[in-house]
Amino acid sequence: MKQIGIVCLLLLVVFGQAIAENYQKIRIYLSTSEDIQKIADLGIDFEGSYYKRDQFIDLQISRFEKDILENSGFITEVLISDLEEFYRSRLETRTGEGFGYGSMGGYYTYSEVMADLDSLIATYPNLVSQKQIIGYSVLGKPLVAVRISDNPNIQENEPEVLYTGLHHAREPMSMMVLQYFMWYLVENYGSDPQATFLVDNRQMWFIPVVNPDGYVYNEQTNPNGGGMWRLNARDNNDNGSHFQSGIDGVDLNRNYGYQWGYDNSGSSPTPGSQTYRGPGPFSEVETAFVRDFCNQHQYITALNYHTYSNLLIHPWAYNDSPTPDHQYFYTFGMDMTRFNGYVLGTPSQTVGYAVNGDANDWMYGEQTSKPKIFAYTPEVGSSSDNFWPPTNRILPLAQENLYPNIVLSYIAGSFPKIVRNSIRPYGQNRYADPGEMIKIYPEITNYGLKPTGPVGIELVSRQPSITVLQNSIQFPGMQTFDSLAAGIPWKFQVPYTTVPGTSLVFDLQIFDNGTLVNTDSLIMTVGTFDIAFADSGNTALTRWSAGGSNGSWGMTSTSSHSPVYSFTDSPVGDYANSCDFWLRSESVNLSDATSARLHYWTKWDIEAGWDFGLVEISTNNGISWTSVKGNYMKPASGSGVQTPGLFGYDGVQNEWVQESID
């Protein structure tokens, strides 16, 4: 009940002419648990496809590789007969919207990327550095980097961050995400606290195109988008042609030096394979120049963008053991994925296979020539987006990765955050009633890799009728993951005239050594809530009804938040494949309520990115249902049973958490 991404795509050069080979989406039904390993041993790349454990795997693959699979005994079913035509049908030409669209189905060509960087530099010369050529590709195209900072052409004593795109030439969204983020930073500088702080206090470097040769080749074969060449332009048989299908090219994300060639499943020793690692570590000029560029700097964090599968991947990639800094990777990654819902983990945890010679492992693992870099790989987009998402998906995908881009730069330095606010009304109950004095005790944690200076936090009311007493609270400096709770609270009185159900809104401002780091908000609902429905989970399902297929809700004493029982969807073991069942409460009368809130304790273990746990409400006695969103829910991936636009639970949550839904 896991999903794995697999994609293997090649192009063919005949008589020196660029001719795109036919690519198909196929399904392989699996006979044994060893089938996945057998596919990997054939040199098939696992990036971007979907694996339903013990059932099937969907691949996007060239005719050449389909023949390899069929000759090895695998039976294939064609799902899409011509992928490049399928991609072209979804792409259109757009210009002048938002951060801009390119001429290649909405994506920038290589020359348009360079022109867009020139436009950034010309428009914001005080924030964007001149283009720096860090090296040249096999065919002599420049690998270009730019820096965004408040003094962009000066090396300052500020934390350095690196963003890269287009290691794989058929993944243009990996570049578009970076172009969008660069424009966000400069256009919001001076007005948005986050953008302003990052530009003033970080040095953010961008290499939007690591593989220019492969990308330009895709432009030539498919000028309207949809080209599927993945590798660089190494001429493996030295015949003067650089793009022969099944012969040429190296997978740049298997060519980095750390644990290069660790085994022949995580990379291939065979030229022509989509995971061919090259003749030696850093044999490719593109990866060697990225290596040298990293060694010349002091990068602390990095995002190496790829597509697709809605994942955020971190080391180790070469095997399934955790790094010594696993808790750091996990904590930072959970923050980066809190809004886009990407599945977090190592390659073995997310896609079910190991990779060796990738950029993340080298950036983190090589600690002699440079400091360790906390490097991640976002795999942008769902299976419906694929390698060339439809034109109308470019902007949404760029936007859903804005928050992780911001967080990555924050954590490279100090990053104080308010993690909770303990609210203690002075009245007789736990609610904020009109006329009561409210005390708020904030708790902060440093989520950055550098220590903070003295931290100050301020609470500012948006209601003119409310004055916050002791509105500024001070904390001493903190190391990474240090947490401190305030001993002196913020205090304010709720006006007597406030109507119950009114939401009071406050701004939270966080300062590090006197510099505004970030702002947040706090919302409090006035009035006493009556309990309209409650169930401890310690009695039979007398107030509930259960139904559905391939399973049923029940009670368990194996785990509970409060002794002795809890409700569970799988009282006798793991839930079954293809299950769809529900637990429904009795009707609750809310006709006199001005607002309502649902609280419950929950934990889960649900196949990430495929299965989903939903909470729905009905206001017409069950005729129709509406999905609602809680604080711990993720957006649907668009794969499996996860319908885009919905929010729910997947992945693993081992500890009980209290969910809240308004």
Any idea which residues carry the catalytic annotation? 379
Q: How far is CA 279 from CA 62, 154, 249, 251, in A?
A: 24, 38, 11, 11
Please give the full DSSP string across 10-67, using - where no structure is assigned: --EEETTEEEPPPEEEEEEE-SSTTHHHHHHHTT---TT-EEETTTEEEEEEEHHHHH
Q: Which two tokens stand for residue 147?
A: 């820096």
Buried b (16+ CB within 10 A) or exposed e, 23-56: bbbbbbebeeeebbebbbebbbbbbbbbbbbeee
CB-based contact 336:312 (threshold 8 Å): yes
Helices (H) and strands (E) in the chain, counts: 13, 33
**3-state DSSP call for residue 199?**
helix
537 φ, ψ (degrees, to nearest 5): 80, 5
Residue 138 to residue 211: CA distance in whole angstroms: 9
Q: Which residues, at least 6 apart from 14, have a Cβ–Cβ distance to it below 8 Å?
A: none
Which amino acid would we find at residue 110?
Answer: Y
CB-based contact 470:523 (threshold 8 Å): no
Owner of token pair 């348009």: 112
Q: Which two tokens stand for residue 70?
A: 């069929």
181 φ, ψ (degrees, to nearest 5): -65, -40
Q: How many residues does the chain have?
A: 662
Q: Count Cβ atoms below 10 Å from residue 393 Cβ, excluding itself.
A: 19
Q: Which residues, at least 6 apart from 63, have a Cβ–Cβ distance to it below 8 Å?
A: 21, 22, 23, 24
Q: Report CA Rg, the chain.
A: 27
Which amino acid would we find at residue 426?
Answer: Y
Residue 403 to residue 195: CA distance in whole angstroms: 11
Q: Which residues, at least 6 apart from 341, have a Cβ–Cβ distance to it below 8 Å?
A: 310, 634, 635, 636, 637
CB-based contact 265:205 (threshold 8 Å): no
Helix ranges (H only) for 247-358 are: 285-295, 326-336, 347-350
Q: Write out the H or E segment, with its range, that includes residue 68.
A: helix 63-71
Q: Which residues, at least 6 apart from 135, have a Cβ–Cβ distance to it below 8 Å?
A: 142, 143, 285, 286, 288, 289, 292, 293
Please give the full DSSP string across 207-220, using - where no structure is assigned: E--S-HHHHHHHHH
**3-state DSSP call for residue 392?**
helix
Q: How far is CA 655 from CA 501, 534, 569, 602, in A?
A: 32, 22, 17, 8
